[in-house]
Structure 1
Amino acid sequence: MQNPFLSATSRRAAAVALAAALALAAAGCSSKAKDDDKDSGDGKQGAATIKTDKGVSADTITVGALTDMTGVYATLGKSVTQAQQLYVDEVNAAGGICQRKLKLEVRDHGYNPQKAVGSYTELAPTVIGFSQFIGSPFVAAVKQRIDTQDKALVIPQAWSSHLLGSESIRQIGATYDVEMINAVEFLVTDMGIKESDKVGHVYFEGDYGESALAGAKFAADKHGLSIVEQKIKPTDQDMTAQVTALKKAGVKAILISAGPAQSASLTGVAAAAKLQVPVVGSNPTFAPQLLKTQAAPALLAMFHVAASTLPIGDSGTGPAKLAGDYEKKYPGQLLDNGVIAGYTAAATFGDALKKACESKDLTRAGVTQALLSMSSSDMGFGITHDFSKPDQPSTRESFILKPDANAKGGMVVEKPAFSAPAATEFTPAM
């Protein structure tokens, strides 16, 4: 409304002044927008040009971690989570990613199905994705939701072939079935197992164990072996019954796809029962604390692990630097291969975030596509990974590790990384 006390001349003068002020303000806004669009010169893109959605604010990128610090894999979960926090702190000290700090939002599900799914449901709306999700059965339980609804990148601490085929769920390493194919190859080429021999397989019921068993059976068929199955629950701790059955069957070697407690019991009981045969475990089956138990002599003599990474105590540059950084941040804390697993997952997620930032698309879809563009990822831990094929493991190679009481992390390389011929031709069941 015009002021009735102003003259026509005054009103015209006021209108001119207002137009000039608006033009100046518009020029200032235009200049600011152009400044925001410019690269800052240090590799960071202007925040105004970056597309974002859930889990990303103007100054923070929030990443979820669903871990087990109080259940079957408590030791692993603690190491994985602390290693991921180490990575986050390193990135933030260097200025963050895309002009934002990283934040790791952690939930402990204690390897409980209800808590795992509940924790996922709680965090899914608030994070850009998950750099950790322990437990293949729990990831499988929300897989459809991840694929069709949330579409957030998830890097599980799980290696089930049943999680393949998803663009949003990407495992780092050989799947359990491929891992067991390589384990059987090791038994045949290095441990003297021959055609017509029987090999026992102790495995957790559910996704983890069934995936491993499929690989063991495939490899056994290729080598003319037979698998003697012993299915157990995660709550089963005493392997006496399983050892008794395997000894009666006359097995010449044993595979195990379970947890560290089961590995210690199985190997210790087998040695006491004079069933002194090689035992090869999937990668989550060992923890260095086992070398302080009564099972230590048996583990040192009989136990081996198939894994898609060098051990944390290896003298290579990657493990040595990580071990030093971890010990500095967490003095007195246990070193195990969970440190490498956690750090690698966080760094892989971080690399995807960086590539997404370069593409100016820090949405969930942008981060997922960034990871899919990474066909030759080498974190310095012995194996190069290809994340460009969702229906394939990121590698089909495995190291064979063995316990060593004098090594950091309690393990050393027994056999360099290799891929069995059967592993190369195997088609994982998704």
Structure 2
Amino acid sequence: MLRKSLTALAVAPLLTLAACGGSGSGKSGTGADGVAMGPGVTDDEISVTVISDFSGPIAQGGIAGSLGVEAKIDQVNREEGGVCGRKVVVDKRDTKYDPQITTQQYRAAAPKNLMVAQFVGTAGLNAVRTSIERDDMPTLSASINTQTLDLPNVYVAMPPFEVELINGLVWAAEKAGAAASKTVKVGFVTSADETGKVYLGALNHAAKATPGVQVVAEPTYTNADKDFTAQINSLKSAGAEIVMLGVTPAQTAGIIGQSAQFGYKPTFVSSSGAWSSSLGKPLKGLLDNYYVSGGYGTLNDDNAGIRALTKAREAYAPDAKPDNFEVGGWINGTVVVEALRKACEAKTLTREGVKKAMVGLKVSFDDILPPIDLGDGNSIVSYQSRINKIGKDGVQEPVATFFESPAAKSWGTSRGN
């Protein structure tokens, strides 16, 4: 079912006008080139917004992710004059990772922009999900989990965190020699909310599908937690040899740092969203047993995609400190550009036109990750991830090639993908 492609067509015009920002999906005119123009589009510009945390608890990742989007769009503007004869402009909105502020920023951005090029924060997305649906707002998410994937008009162009965690657990268990004849004890750390429950479901699916894996502890945390003594004691006393981290960088820092203080040294494996290169310095010397399962490449890769990203970033922001969240932003920026090109070919730079362009959109990223097809907008685009270690300056380095575990695929199939 194409749940995302035409969700707002049945909404009465009056309801659309009542949406946050009041922008809806209606045309704002027709350009001199005969292209229908929606909100944020003129004969000279296409305005897209990035709604992210630029000064709150995950600002490091928010800034780096936005930089990836901005560098891609700057590259297209400089080298190709933009898209459809129009420069693409990025309207940045700071949410401070607060759902209430996110709502305010979305309302301010909606009338002025054609689409959301990158949205950071699952809680924030949930806060404005109704507005995104009513405004017919095409939205690329940097919160790559399946809760986000299921939201109307929201698209995830990378393997979700659940896939990364499943593949990471399978890899770590095999590395530890787990088998029907050898038990390996595993613990999970996730948030005490709906997102954490989804991660736990995925991890328990992987544990059941992997011979020799015994789940011995599942401590949770809240975003207010600064001390992880209780969680670490739970894992340590249960004898967890592998600890899967379905967390953000703030919890990664606390858990790894405090575990070292307590002399607890399991193998830690996280999703890509749990690591920021800014942690490299404060955690230096404590990362020998820490791995990241990432659904896309790293800045240390030697391929055409990463070389293009690096060149674009150095041209756009030469003083910026490299961070792997840039890669996710570059991926979303690339999808935005390809969707705008496809919509332009159809002569409709409207929100409805962009959403139609997203359906079945095929994008190649020059080996940053395998090529994707957005399909109906509700399906997982890939089940592959790769295991990385932390290298110089906190930047990830691959220790294995991209792979797809049967556990990840069976989990996705069980949820209808």
- State the AA in 2 paired with 1:230: P
Give SS of 1:292's match.
coil
Change (3 A) 1:307 1:70: same
The equivalent residue for 1:304 is 291
Deviation at 1:121, TM superposition (A): 1.8
Query: Which stretch shows the higher mean deviation, 245-254 or 137-146?
Result: 137-146
Q: 1:17-65: CA deviations, max 9, x gaps? A: xxxxxxxxxxxxxxxxxxxxxxxxxxxx973421222221222111011
Among candidates 262, 277, 281, match of residue 292 of structure 1: 281
Say if 2:375 is the partner of 1:363.
no
Correspondent of 1:262 among 233, 245, 251: 251
- Cα distance in 2 for partners of 1:153, 1:68 equals 19
Alignment check: 8 A CA contact 1:307 1:400 kept: yes
User: Is the CA contact (8 Å cut-off) linking 1:92 and 1:102 kept in structure 2?
Assistant: yes
Q: Which moved more, 1:71-80 or 1:83-92?
A: 83-92
Change (3 A) 1:379 1:206: farther
Structure 1 Cα separation of the partners of residues 373 and 114 of structure 2? 22
Match of 1:24 in 2: none
Q: Is the 8 A contact 1:56 1:127 kept in 2?
A: yes
| TM-score normalised by length of structure 2 | 0.86
Aligned to 2:58: 73
- Counterpart in the other structure of 1:327: 314
Structure 2: how far apart are the matches of 1:120 and 1:194?
49
Q: If each structure's helix is expressed as a fraction of its own residues, which one has the higher value? A: 1
Q: 2:129·2:152 contact (CA, 8 Å) conserved in 1?
A: no
DSSP-derived class of the 1:145 partner: helix
- SS of residue matched to 1:118: helix
| Bigger RCO of structures 1 and 2 (CA < 8 A, at least 6 apart) | 2
Name 2:300's counterpart in structure 1: 313
1:231 aligns with 2:220: yes
Answer yes or no: is 1:351 the counterpart of 2:349. no
The answer to whether structure 1 residue 97 and structure 2 residue 83 are counterparts is yes
Larger radius of gyration: 1
Q: Which residue of 2 aligns with 1:187?
A: 172
Contact preservation (8 Å) 1:319, 1:381:
yes
Percentage of matched positions with identical amino acids = 27
1:144 aligns with 2:130: yes
Distance verdict in 2 for CA 1:87–1:47, change over 3 Å: farther
Are 2:405 and 1:416 equivalent residues in the alignment? no
- In the alignment, is residue 86 of structure 1 matched against residue 67 of structure 2? no
Matched with 1:248 is: 237
The residue aligned with 2:371 is 384
CA distance in 1, matches of 2:53, 2:198: 21
Distance change (3 Å), C-alpha of 1:167 and 1:394: farther
Q: Offset of 1:208 from its aligned partner? A: 3.7
- Decide which of 385, 398, 404 is 1:398's aligned counterpart: 385
> Following the alignment from structure 1 to structure 2, what is the Cα–Cα distance between the partners of residues 52 and 332?
36
Q: CA offset at residue 247 of structure 1?
A: 0.4
8 Å Cα contact 1:396-1:424 kept in structure 2: yes
* Secondary structure at the counterpart of residue 190 of structure 2: strand
- Kindly indicate whether residue 193 of structure 2 is the aligned counterpart of residue 214 of structure 1: no
Structure-2 separation of matches of 1:379 and 1:84: 16
Question: For 2:227 and 2:103, how far apart are their aligned partners in 1?
Answer: 28
Q: Is residue 376–residue 385 contact of structure 1 (8 Å, CA) maintained in 2?
A: yes
Deviations 1:331-367 (A, max 9, x none): 3321011111111111111110001001111111111
C-alpha distance in 2 between matches for 1:222 and 1:305: 21
Deviations 1:279-301 (A, max 9, x none): 011111112222211x32121x1
Partners of 1:328 and 1:267 in 2: how far apart? 35
Alpha-carbon RMSD across the aligned residues, in angstroms, is 2.1
Of 85, 90, 113, the residue aligned with 1:127 is 113
Separation in structure 2 between the aligned mates of residue 130 and residue 376 of structure 1, nearest angstrom: 18
Equivalent-residue separation in structure 2 for 1:377 and 1:389 (angstroms): 18
Long gaps (5+) in structure 2: 1-29
Name 1:341's counterpart in structure 2. Answer: 328
Checking the alignment, whether the CA contact within 8 Å between 2:31 and 2:37 is kept in structure 1 is no
Name which of 118, 131, 139 aligns with 2:104.
Answer: 118
Mapping of residues 162-177 of structure 1, within 5 Å: 162-166=147-151, 168-177=153-162
The CA deviation at 1:132 is 0.9
Q: Unmatched 5+ residue regions in structure 1?
A: 1-44
Give the Å deviation of 1:227. Answer: 5.2
Structure 2 counterpart SS, 1:355? helix
Higher mean C-alpha deviation, range 283-292 or range 356-365: 283-292
Could you say if the C-alpha distance between residues 335 and 193 of structure 1 is closer, same or farther in structure 2, counting changes exceeding 3 Å?
farther
Distance 1:393 1:125 in 2: 30
Q: Give 1:186 deviation, angstroms.
A: 0.9
- Following superposition, the deviation at residue 167 of structure 1 comes to 5.6
Q: How far 1:172 moved relative to its partner?
A: 1.8
Report if the CA contact (8 A) 2:99-2:124 is conserved.
yes
TM-superposed deviation, 1:182: 0.7
Question: Which letter maps to 1:170?
Answer: Y
**Shift of the alpha carbon at 1:264?**
2.1
Tell me the residue number matched to 2:10: none
Partner of 1:25: none
- The 2-side partners of 1:171 and 1:417 are apart by 19
- Corresponding position of 2:9: none
Change (3 A) 1:329 1:92: closer
The alignment's TM-score, normalised by the length of structure 1, stands at: 0.83
CA displacement 1:217-266 (0-9 Å, x = unmatched): 11112125325211111232332221111101111110112222321221
* Alignment partners' CA distance in 1, 2:194 and 2:49: 22
